[in-house]
Amino acid sequence: MSTMEKLKEAANFLQQYNTSGAKTGVVLGSGLGDFVKEIQVKNEIPYEDIPHFPVSTVEGHHGKLIFGTIGGKPLVAMAGRFHFYEGYSPEDVVFPIRVMKFLGIETLLISNAAGGVGEGFKVGDLMIINDHISFAIQNPLLGANDNNLGPRFTDMSEPYKKDLIAKAKTIAQRLSIDLKEGVYFGVTGPTFETRAEYKLIHLLGAHAVGMSTVQEVIAAVHAGMKVFAISVITDIGIREEENTITHQEVLQAAAEAAPKLSAIFRELIVSL
């Protein structure tokens, strides 16, 4: 079965739940599943029930697709995403993003947990992603291109939409939430970076580093979707003291910052 056939089968199965005709999609990262509490849930579908969907294997990822509303605005939310480091192909990682496109999603809001490598970051900061560096990941568009998904050569000069960034900044100011802004560096994981790698990533112009998001954004832009993304800084990569990082610390930091992120996402969705 071709990728296109799999996408259509998954989208056709899910269309019965998309009764409100959602145009907004949300992807929730590690420890950020509490945003689900903001949603007036109409339907929850476990990933294993969706034709051809991968299944999330990472702690902190719930593994279900949620149809509901926030402030009366319909949306589809991924509570749990897929990563290249889990053994999935890039095509698997972006499969749900493409299914969202087939469901009629036009705007995609993405969150993640990331390590801070820029100066002035502290654990718990929120960073709007205004650009990314994808050299360290495998591009999900490699191989034969299907024009039904998007063009052969995709312009990535504005992967994160400036108008959505401006809206988010206005919302944050109104809610007295401090927002950072910067470049996200995508890596494969699953190891956290070495001290030397953190320094190199910083020298290359990035402010945060993480193991997700970039492949999803490439596929979303390829499909013509508008993207807004935000990182929760859950650890600081460049520091002189003991530099060990655990996944539990990442989840805890993400959970503590989740209410601020939820507030921004909620108000942004309502404004769309």
Domain that holds residue 203: 3-271
Q: Using alpha carbons only, give the angle 165, 129, 195 rounded to the nearest 5 degrees.
A: 160
Mean pLDDT, residues 182-201 taken together: 94
pLDDT of residue 85: 94
Query: Checking DSSP bridges between strand 107-116 and strand 24-28, what pairing results, if any?
Result: parallel
Q: The whole model's pTM is what?
A: 0.93
Q: Where are the alpha helices (DSSP H) in the chain?
A: 3-15, 90-102, 162-174, 195-203, 214-222, 247-271
Cβ atoms within 10 A of the Cβ of 133, count? 17
Rounded to an integer, what distance in angstroms lies between the CA atom of residue 9 and that of residue 3? 10
Pairing mode, if any, of strands 40-46 and 24-28? Answer: unpaired
- CATH number, domain at 58? 3.40.50.1580
What whole-number distance in Å separates Cα of residue 211 and Cα of residue 192?
9
Cβ neighbours of 181 (radius 10 Å): 17
Total domains present in the chain: 1
User: CA–CA separation, 234 vs 51, rounded Å?
Assistant: 34
- pLDDT of 57: 67
User: pLDDT digits over 159-189, tens only?
Assistant: 999 999 999 999 999 999 999 999 999 999 9
Q: What percent of the chain has pLDDT over 90?
A: 76
Other Cβ atoms closer than 10 A to 204:
13
Rounded CA-CA distance 196/255 in Å is 28
**pLDDT score of 35:** 84
Write the pLDDT tens digit of every residue in 239-267.
666 656 677 777 777 778 888 999 999 99
**Structural Rg of the chain based on CA atoms:** 17
